[in-house]
Structure 1
Amino acid sequence: MKIGTQNQAFFPENILEKFTYMKKMGFEAFEIDGKLLVEHVDEVKAAIRETGLPVSTACGGYDGWIGDFIEERRLNGLQEIERILEALAEVGGKGIVVPAAWGMFTYRLPPMVSPRSKEGDFKAVSESLLYLDKVAGRTGTKVYLEPLNRYQDHMINLLAEARHYIESNQLQNVEIIADFYHMNIEEDGISEALHEQRDKIGHIHVADNHRYQPGSGALDFRKHFDQLKKDGYDGYLVFECRVRGEDPEAEYQKALKHLQNCLA
């Protein structure tokens, strides 16, 4: 397993400097914003050549969720995700992380009555995934379907629910991304869920139980990494977290060392 990171506010803005900074810090890959990649693909290629730091995946950078309530936004999102997958293929990235939606609706807050039926949710997300499955097949990439916690999305909260979409639609290029923060809220057991869905998990996000940097909270990363090792997971573990502390750079470096120790 290799450890990558998304961008952070204290990283340099210049793309080459950003890649150099991450490489020096000890990260082994960059999960890039999709819009940044599409708009600066040549600069990203040059940074990869210069530093040897790969782009593992993309996350975000498009407008319109694959399960959007508004059809025009859903279709727009699909077109933008398609362009991101094409750009990922150019730079050697594995694929893009996509949730059904984020912040669009939750049953846990008022009005607690969805404007669309569960059958409608399944239809919209399935149509999007079927479209993107073909795009990913054409570009040699993957779509990583992300379950979010119940407060951020109402459609897909468990790894098993993501699996249901993959199997029901016979998707060949869609896999599950397991996010430790969301799993800590939703799954009965993180290690157990990782094991049960081991054949469909293609990517992983790491943050501690409170969404801050790994090692600053309550999660037992060594236990869960040991389970991943037993099940033969050899993909990326990507930091997707907020950072707290007086010195964010030092705290981030400390978190990386913590995960490296948990992998040892």
Structure 2
Amino acid sequence: MKIGTQNQPFFPEDIKEKFRYLKNAGFEGFEIDGKLLVDHLDEVKEAIAETGLPVTTACGGYNGWIGDFIEERRLNGLEDIKEILTALQQAGGKGIVVPAAWGMFTYRLPPMVSPRSQAGDWKAVSESLVYLDSIAKETETTIFLEPLNRYQDHMINTLADARRYIEENTLRNVKIIADFYHMNIEEDNLSQALHQNRDLIGHIHVADNHRYQPGSGSIDFRKLFDQLKSDGYDGYLVFECRIRGNDPEAEYLKALKHLQQCLV
């Protein structure tokens, strides 16, 4: 397994300097914003060639969720994702992280009545995934379907939820991304959930139980990494977290060392 990261405010803004910084810090991959990749593809490819640091995946950078309530926005999002997947193919990236939606609706807060039926949710997300499955096949990439916790999305909350979409729609180029923060809220047993879905897990996001940097909370990363190892996972572990502490850069690099030690 290798450790990657999303962007942070204290990383250099210049793309090539950013890649050099990440390489020197000890990260082994970069999960890039999709729009940044599309808009600066040539510069990103040059940075990859210079540093040897790969773009692992894209996350974000498109307008419209795959389960959007507004059909025009859903379709616009799909076309944005198609463009990102094409750029990822050129940059050597594995694929793109997509949830059903983020912050669009939750049953846990008022009004608690969705403007669309559960059958409608299933239809919208399934149609999006079937389309993206075909685009991923063409671009030799993967769609990483991300379950979010119940307060951020109402459609896909557990790894089992994501698995159902993949299996019932016979998707060949869609895998599950397991996010430890969301799993900590939704799964009864994190290790068991990882094991039960080992055949479909293709990507990992790491944060501690409170969404801050790994090692600052209560998640037992060594236990989860050992589970992933025993199940044969050899992909990336990508930081997706906020940072708590007076010196964000120092705390972030400390968290990197913590995860490196947990992998030993």
Matched, 1:42 2:19: no
2:175 partner SS:
strand
1:202 partner SS:
strand
Q: Distance in 1 between matches of 2:139 and 2:205?
A: 23
Deviation at 1:243, TM superposition (A): 0.8
For 2:67, the equivalent position in structure 1 comes to 67
2:202 partner SS:
strand
For 1:180, the equivalent position in structure 2 comes to 180
For 2:113, the equivalent position in structure 1 comes to 113
Structure 1: stretches of 5+ with no match in the other structure:
none
> Which runs of structure 2 are paired with 1:252-263 in the superposition (5 Å)?
252-263=252-263
For 1:248, the equivalent position in structure 2 comes to 248
Deviation at 1:166, TM superposition (A): 0.2
For 1:153, the equivalent position in structure 2 comes to 153
Aligned length: 264
1:262 partner SS:
helix
Q: Distance in 1 between matches of 2:112 and 2:22?
A: 42
Matched, 1:164 2:164: yes
CA RMSD of aligned residues (A): 0.3
Q: Which runs of 4+ in 1 moved over 6 A?
A: none
For 2:31, the equivalent position in structure 1 comes to 31
Matched, 1:92 2:92: yes
Matched, 1:58 2:23: no
Q: Distance in 2 between matches of 1:107 and 1:9?
A: 32
Q: TM-score under structure 1 normalisation? A: 1.00
Say which is worse superposed, 245-254 or 204-213, in terms of deviation: 245-254
| Cα displacement string for residues 114-146 of structure 1 (whole angstroms, at most 9, x for unaligned residues) | 000000000000000000000000000000000
For 2:138, the equivalent position in structure 1 comes to 138
Q: Distance in 2 between matches of 1:19 and 1:130?
A: 34
1:154 partner SS:
coil
Q: Distance in 1 between matches of 2:6 and 2:254?
A: 16
Q: Distance in 1 between matches of 2:216 and 2:248?
A: 12
2:3 partner SS:
strand
Deviation at 1:66, TM superposition (A): 0.1
Structure 2: stretches of 5+ with no match in the other structure:
none
The aligned amino acid for 2:185 is I
Deviation at 1:244, TM superposition (A): 1.4
Q: TM-score under structure 2 normalisation? A: 1.00
For 1:79, the equivalent position in structure 2 comes to 79
1:56 partner SS:
strand
Q: Distance in 2 between matches of 1:263 and 1:67?
A: 36
The aligned amino acid for 1:163 is R
Identity of aligned residues (%): 79
